[in-house]
Amino acid sequence: MNFEPQKIKTGTLYRSVTFDRAAASIDTEARTVEVAFASEFGVRRWFGLEVLDCQPGSIRMDRLNAGGALLDNHDTDKQLGVVESARCDADRIARATVRFSRNADAEAKFLDLQDNILRHVSVGYRIHKYVEETTVAADGTESTICRVTDWEPYEISLVAVPADPTVGVDRAAGADEHDTLVIRAAAGNTLPATPKTPHKEPLMEDTTGLQAEQKRTAGLLALADTYAQFGARDLVADAIRTGKSTETFLAQIMDKITERHSTAQALEIGLAGKELQTYSIMRAVQATLTGDWSRAGLERAASDAVAKRTGYTPEGFFVPVEAFSRAFSVGTAGEAGNLVGTQLLGSEFIDVLRNALVLSKLGIRVLGGLTSNIAIPRKTVATTIASYSEIASITASNPTTAQITMSPKRIGGQVVYSKQALIQANPDVAMMLQDDLAQGVAVQIENLAINGTGASNQPRGLFNFSGVGSVVGGTDGATIAWSHLVNLESACANANAEPDANAGYLINTKARGWCKQTVKGTYLPFIWDAGAQPLNSYRAAVTNNVPSNGSKGASSSILSSVGFSSDWRDLVLALFGGLDIVVDPYTQAGTGQVVITANQFIDVACRQAASFAVMTDAKTA
């Protein structure tokens, strides 16, 4: 085993031993007791066996002999006494005489110690130097240990529950994970190139601690493999060294994924300025038809860049997200045949009207460039905390966890253009084609993110997630009132999802029109206020992707939905790969037409259902 000094940092470790009451020297008058706080038993750490060298030249006793602290469970705010003296005896056991304070806490601990109730001692120490050694067992088997030849104890603690309750050595239970599982040393230490002379001392292993540590390390490595594409393998070494739990490491990975893909900009390839303005799907289509990309070098390079970033190979060519998102706000599309003609004003072409795109403005999470299924861990039930009598047994309970899984669901569109249109159309047809495909895909993505059923190859959308809060109008629905909007907010807040700066409403144009004409109450202003936070002092996004044709009771196809979120970041949109454009000149070859197909793979998930509330039976007339 090779220890890597450049990766080891200075820190605190803890070891504990059982206090031998029968052999102890307790002076009740002087309030002193002699304790053994360290020996040369081997301790199994994540990297192997660690042995503290217990010889006078190996232990820096100055801090302890200068009045080191006697603490309660390593808590520096709970000092029980002081170290009177410390030494290392010939039997290679480090001992100290400690004196208890007369404060109430120390008095109680001192009495427990005399009554043989409190029996465990732990030492906090720092490592300054270590060497690699080889031990030889009776059968000739060799193993490597890390012998600490220069270490400094700086406090002794009484602990109620050590990880190892038998006579032996281990870290104290309750010590910080990131402090106790890592061997650390001051900068500049070096290790020998070859093992030292065999050291044949018996070593005692803490098999319980070893099994737990092996399980933790295996779990971390498994997570690193699962999320390798997100750089988890670069993080796992640090997670092992610093004692992170699998839950903490997984949360770190999720943060990294969110940071990497929190906005669409994370998927951009750097297309900007003149290049962005001149990018043309039309040129890429024509190049695909002819096989000649000499006049479409920009489009070919852009597709290759997207493929490299996502790890996917397109069936046709990829459209970069910059060109894809440009269509979200620019509309000049229509039928290509209408653009052929010497006097045609293609630049004045009138686009179809589409539902507004609003989810990105609300701040949903976008995980882009994904190449495999993902799972986001979440805690569903917390540990039960209750009140108990003085001596009652505490009922154990464990938190419950689950995973939110996301996998690709395909959406797509197809348009057919004649080869003549592609040849004769003026330059605006390129923008038209680009906008038509990109806007169509984008509108459908938001539609599914809001209304997806979870069936028939659709992702499950916001209005169909289980566990979201609900506000009910009535048997036949109810006209929107101020109370309904307040109740949507309260549904989230009552579930501990308190609204913050990322909160806001999601409604359609009919609901907005109703709120602009309806007062909150007698002599009160309209429900819809002016400004950037028009509903109940929160933002409001308006799109006709929100349904207005719901039915309930006697109300048929007239009911609108209204949604509210205390934090829109809890709605997650996953984009797998990129927008893939496939050009097919063969299927309609007999009619001189080209079939152009767009594919995008997506999924939608809800991180916290309690962050959302919906009303699906709102009347607007």
Q: Verify that 273 and 231 share a domain, yes or no.
A: no
pLDDT band at 122 (very low <50, low <70, confident <90, very high): confident
Could you please report the per-residue DSSP string of 455-508? -TTPPB-GGG-TT-EE----BTBEE--HHHHHHHHHHHHTTT----TT-EEEE-
- Measured between its terminal Cα atoms, the distance across the chain in Å is 77
394 inside domain: no
Distance CA 539, CA 536 (A): 8
Interval 229-278: pLDDT, tens: 667 777 888 888 788 887 778 777 766 655 544 444 445 566 666 777 77
pLDDT band at 174 (very low <50, low <70, confident <90, very high): very low
At 258 the pLDDT is 52
At 403 the pLDDT is 81
Q: Verify that 566 and 603 share a domain, yes or no.
A: yes
Report helix, strand or coil for 275.
helix
397 inside domain: no
Backbone angles phi, psi at 75, to 5 degrees: -90, 110
CB-based contact 77:71 (threshold 8 Å) = no
Q: Verify that 230 and 301 share a domain, yes or no.
A: no
Distance CA 270, CA 276 (A): 9
Enter the tokens of residue 447. 């539609």
Query: In the listed set 193, 226, 261, which residue is the last one of a domain according to the structure?
Result: 261
Helices (H), 34-184: 62-65, 104-114, 177-180
Domain count, the chain: 3
pLDDT band at 440 (very low <50, low <70, confident <90, very high): confident
450 inside domain: yes
Q: Verify that 144 and 190 share a domain, yes or no.
A: yes
Interval 425-434: pLDDT, tens: 555 555 566 6
209 inside domain: no
Q: Verify that 297 and 357 share a domain, yes or no.
A: yes
Range of the domain at 128: 5-204
Poorest-confidence range of 252-261, 519-528, 573-582? 252-261
DSSP 8-state secondary structure symbol assigned to residue 265: G
Distance CA 149, CA 384 (A): 45
Enter the tokens of residue 87. 């030494």
Q: Is 507 exposed, middle or buried (0-12, 13-18, 19+ CB in 10 A)?
A: buried
At 474 the pLDDT is 92
Q: Is 53 exposed, middle or buried (0-12, 13-18, 19+ CB in 10 A)?
A: buried
Q: Find where tokens 């990018």 sit.
A: 279
Largest CA distance in the chain: 112
Interval 412-426: pLDDT, tens: 888 787 777 666 655
At 540 the pLDDT is 94
Question: How many of the other CB atoms lie within 10 Å of CB of 44?
Answer: 21
Question: How many of the other CB atoms lie within 10 Å of CB of 63?
Answer: 17
Query: In the listed set 204, 224, 251, which residue is the last one of a domain according to the structure?
Result: 204
Distance CA 577, CA 324 (A): 13
Report helix, strand or coil for 183.
coil
Q: Find where tokens 């603690």 sit.
A: 157
Give percent of the chain above pLDDT 90: 25
Poorest-confidence range of 36-45, 105-114, 125-134, 253-262? 253-262
Average pLDDT over residues 505-523: 94
Query: In the listed set 244, 261, 278, which residue is the last one of a domain according to the structure?
Result: 261
Q: Verify that 66 and 114 share a domain, yes or no.
A: yes
Enter the tokens of residue 518. 């309806």
**Which of 175 and 445 is assigned the larger pLDDT?**
445
Q: Verify that 40 and 54 share a domain, yes or no.
A: yes
Q: Verify that 129 and 222 share a domain, yes or no.
A: no
At 552 the pLDDT is 94
Residue type, 407: S
Distance CA 402, CA 98 (A): 49
398 inside domain: no
229 inside domain: yes
Give percent of the chain above pLDDT 70: 75
Inter-CA distances, 263 with 369, 439, 586, Å: 11, 18, 38
Residue type, 125: Y
Q: Verify that 271 and 257 share a domain, yes or no.
A: no
Q: Of 93-102, 178-187, 347-356, which has the strongest mean pLDDT? A: 93-102
Enter the tokens of residue 374. 């993902």
Q: Verify that 281 and 349 share a domain, yes or no.
A: yes
396 inside domain: no
Enter the tokens of residue 224. 């690193």
The CATH number linked to 536 is 3.30.2400.10
Distance CA 50, CA 11 (A): 15
pTM for this entry: 0.50
Cβ partners under 8 Å of residue 90, min gap 6: none
66 inside domain: yes
At 431 the pLDDT is 59
Cβ partners under 8 Å of residue 597, min gap 6: 316, 412, 413, 414, 581, 582, 584
Q: Verify that 277 and 254 share a domain, yes or no.
A: no
At 269 the pLDDT is 65
Report helix, strand or coil for 142.
strand
Q: Of 237-251, 252-266, 351-365, 535-549, which has the strongest mean pLDDT? A: 535-549
At 83 the pLDDT is 92
Distance CA 358, CA 443 (A): 10
Q: Verify that 421 and 485 share a domain, yes or no.
A: yes
**Which of 218 and 545 is assigned the larger pLDDT?**
545
